Every structure is written in C-alpha cells, then in structure tokens.
C-alpha cells in the first residue's frame, strides 16, 4: 500500500467513442422500477419513511445465469443512471443535453474497458432525491398531488444504499462482484461495504473519503445559501415558475472551482482576457475563466433541479462512515469483509488524498484487504472522470488480479 503511478500527466481528455465503436456499449435506454410502495415504504435515517419510490437505472452487458457477474456503479452529486452508452432519443427523454455525448463514465464502461461489459453486467442506478428519474423533490407528492419541494424528507447516503440494495435484490443478484464510485459515489461504495459486507465481494472508492472536510461543508453551505436566498426559490415551491436559476448558477460556478486544481485552471485559462490581450477595465466578465464558469453554470441550470441540489449536498455533508463505529472509524472498519480499492488524486483538494490514505491505513490496521493508490494528476477532483488510463490499469488489476496492488 503506497503511492503508485507517479507520472505527471497533462494530456487532453480522450474524445468520445461513438455508439458504433467496438468498445462502446452502443445505444442504451433507462429503465424504471418501483422499489417502495405503501405496503413496503423505505424507512429513512431521518426517522421518516417514504413511498412510492421509483428508481431509474441502466444496465450494460448481460447478467450471467448464476447472476454473479454484476458490478454496481454509483454516481456523484450531479450524476445520473446514464453512466455509459448513447441515447437514441435524448430529446424525447427530456434530456437534450445528452443527445451528443455518451454517459458520464463511458470511458470506463464497455467491451474491453476497465469495467468490461463482455465479462461483467454493469448496473448504474440514480439516487433518491435526484431529478433524473428516481423519486426526488420534483416528484409528485401523493398526499398533495403537487411536487414535494421541501416536503421531501432529508435523505442520506445510507438511505441511497438501502434503496440500491432493493434494486439489486429485485434483479435477483445475491452478491455483487464490486460496487464502485467516485466522489460522493465513492462514499456510497464504502457504505455498501459497511452496510452489506456479505453482498459485495469488493468495493472501489475513487477520489473520495470517509467524510467531507469542514471546508467541503462550508462550500456546500455557501451553495445552498445562494439557492435559498434567491427570491425565485419560494421555499422550494417554484416548479411552475423560473425558479432559483441565479442562485443555482452561483452554486454551480462555486462547485466547479472545487472540482479543478489551481494548476489545471492556470493551464486552461492563464489569466487570459475574453477579448484580446488587454484588460477591458469593466465590471462585466473580462477574464476567460469568468466566461467559462458562467457558461458552465448556464448549462447546468438547464439540466438540474435546485431542490435536488439542496438535498444531495446535505446527504454529502451528513455522510460519516465512522458512524458505523459510534464515531470510531477503526471500529466501523471492523464490519467490512469486502476487498477494498482506494484511489485518490494528488491535486484533489475537495476529497483529500491524505484523508483517503488515513482510511487506507485504518483498513490495513484492521487487517482488511485494502489497496491504495494516489495518482499524480493535475486535474484536481475531476481526475476521477479524466485519468482513464491509470484508473483502468488499477481497476483491472484489482478486479482480476486478486486484490493487492503490487506497488512501491
């Protein structure tokens, strides 16, 4: 267990594989299943229970006869169930922004890729509280016939994982080959290993930690303040109006900064001006980086629900793996029996490599099967979406090589 792959990289991310490429899972469609109803509501960590819950998920590759080749992929804050492949009908699905790009982790999922769909059946399911097909604050509250808004209960990473367990059971899968996720998805992977040790042979946690730092809590607090302070927010009941678009823009601009490293921003923008090489001496956006952030925010506002942003960042804040040990991470780790792969990125300042290393040491101290790699990367937190070659090497070795990474 030590830092491996200490090669500094700054390559441009790969172009997308088209749907016809042999390494693509091709065209896919989202599926939907009801996993909680009045007779079988989902009890939540906050003490409430909720029904109905419909869950959107996607499947790439086929489940074998024994149903023992499944890998569950868990998405991050703004993600969805569309992890790989292409939509024929993005417009009809109401997600036009997905017409010209594949799923968010297409580089890692497909025939011959890290999560090889010739071998594994890869499942990705959208989290509770999201706005992408699974029940969330924008869903209709059966009690009122109107969207939940802030009447939606506060949900947690633990709740998400318990709902995912229902999905896996519903698909007839007893034990997963692996659960894997980056960022907030990585915390779901860890939660799986803690909550269902017998159901997961392994867990892969990328650019993630056992809990968010106070700095991370602080950034989320600012984001939520920006949303709720927007007069368009109307206490969450904005669904027939413009809504808190401005507040959500501010939240996204801020979050986007935390996903990049200082050095990657410097390489991308280099204090260049939008127009020419001289300052415009204007209050409006004058540096390229400002224009970029505004553009990112505008497209995000088109595709994300502000209430979901509140609920999901809250779940991120509350997550604390040590709760399984009454606040003691060592004690919590005792519950784990799955093989664990932890991967951090040197320039990630949102989910700190040092914190992941501590988790790795804690698991090691408790004699768990753990492999840890800190990838030298300039991409910051976003590296979990970009450092495909190195991740592929680590994941393949972990899934197929029996576990321990031979590192020096």
Residues acting as catalytic residues: 183, 348, 381
* Position among 25, 73, 206, 250 found at the interface with its own copies (CB under 8 A): 250
Q: By CB under 8 A, is residue 310 in contact with its own copies?
A: yes
Considering only the stretches 22-30, 110-118, 148-156, 387-395, report the one whose residues sit in contact with its own copies under the rule CB under 8 A: 148-156
Q: By CB under 8 A, is residue 253 in contact with its own copies?
A: yes
Q: Of 135, 125, 132, give the one whose Cα is nearest residue 189.
A: 125
* Position among 3, 45, 68, 389 found at the interface with its own copies (CB under 8 A): 45
Q: Is 252 known as a binding-site position?
A: yes
Q: By CB under 8 A, is residue 282 in contact with its own copies?
A: yes
* Position among 118, 234, 266, 295 found at the interface with its own copies (CB under 8 A): 266
Q: By CB under 8 A, is residue 224 in contact with its own copies?
A: yes
Considering only the stretches 27-35, 68-76, 150-158, 385-393, report the one whose residues sit in contact with its own copies under the rule CB under 8 A: 150-158
**Looking only at residues 347 through 366 of this chain, which bind its own copies when binding is defined by CB under 8 A?**
349, 352
Q: Is 224 known as a binding-site position?
A: no
406: left (phi over 0), alpha (psi -120 to 50) or beta: beta
Considering only the stretches 161-169, 181-189, 225-233, 398-406, report the one whose residues sit in contact with its own copies under the rule CB under 8 A: 225-233
**Burial status of residue 363 (CB atoms within 10 A of its CB: 0-12, 13-18, 19 or more):** buried
Q: Are 206 and 384 in contact (CB under 8 A)?
A: yes
Query: Which pair of structure tokens corresponds to residue 166?
Result: 């229902």
Q: Which is nearer to its own copies, 64 or 215 (CB)?
A: 215
Contact residues: its own copies, CB under 8 A: 45-47, 150, 154, 156, 211-215, 217-219, 221-222, 224-226, 229-231, 246-247, 249-250, 253-254, 257, 260, 262, 265-266, 268-271, 279, 281-283, 285-287, 289-290, 293-294, 297, 310-311, 314, 317-318, 320, 349, 352
Binding residues for substrate: 252, 382
């Amino acid at each position: 267990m030590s830092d491996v792959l200490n090669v500094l990289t700054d390559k441009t991310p790969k172009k997308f594989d088209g749907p016809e490429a042999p390494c693509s899972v091709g065209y896919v469609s989202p599926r939907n299943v009801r996993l909680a109803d009045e007779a079988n509501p989902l009890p939540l960590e906050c003490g409430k229970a909720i029904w109905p819950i419909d869950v959107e998920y996607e499947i790439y590759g086929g489940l074998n006869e024994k149903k023992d080749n499944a890998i569950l992929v868990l998405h991050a804050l703004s993600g969805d169930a569309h992890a790989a492949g292409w939509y024929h009908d993005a417009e009809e699905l109401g997600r036009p922004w997905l017409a010209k790009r594949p799923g968010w982790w297409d580089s890692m999922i497909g025939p011959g890729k890290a999560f090889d769909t010739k071998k594994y059946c890869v499942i990705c399911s959208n989290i509770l509280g999201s706005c992408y097909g699974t029940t969330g604050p924008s869903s209709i509250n059966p009690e009122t016939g109107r969207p939940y808004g802030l009447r939606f209960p506060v949900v947690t990473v633990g709740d998400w994982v318990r709902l995912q367990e229902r999905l896996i059971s519903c698909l007839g899968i007893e034990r997963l080959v692996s659960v894997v996720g980056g960022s907030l998805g990585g915390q779901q992977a860890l939660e799986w290993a803690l909550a269902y040790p017998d159901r997961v042979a392994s867990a892969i946690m990328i650019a993630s930690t056992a809990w968010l730092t106070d700095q991370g809590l602080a950034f989320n607090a600012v984001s939520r303040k920006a949303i709720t302070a927007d007069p368009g927010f109307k206490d969450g009941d904005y669904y027939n109006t413009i809504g808190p678009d401005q507040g959500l823009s501010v939240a996204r601009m801020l979050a986007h900064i935390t996903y990049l490293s200082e050095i990657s921003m410097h390489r991308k923008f280099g204090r260049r001006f939008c127009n020419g090489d001289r300052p415009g001496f204007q209050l409006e956006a004058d540096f390229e980086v400002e224009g970029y952030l505004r553009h990112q925010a505008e497209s995000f506002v088109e595709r994300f629900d502000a209430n979901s942003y509140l609920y999901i960042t809250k779940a991120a804040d509350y997550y604390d793996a040590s709760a399984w040990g009454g606040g003691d991470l060592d004690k919590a780790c005792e519950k784990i029996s799955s093989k664990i792969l932890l991967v951090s990125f040197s320039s990630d300042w949102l989910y700190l490599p040092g914190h992941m290393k501590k988790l790795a040491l804690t698991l090691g101290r408790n004699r768990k099967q753990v492999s840890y790699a800190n990838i030298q990367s300039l991409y910051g937190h976003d590296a979990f979406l970009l450092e495909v070659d190195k991740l592929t090497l680590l994941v393949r070795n972990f899934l197929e090589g029996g576990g321990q990474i031979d590192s020096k």
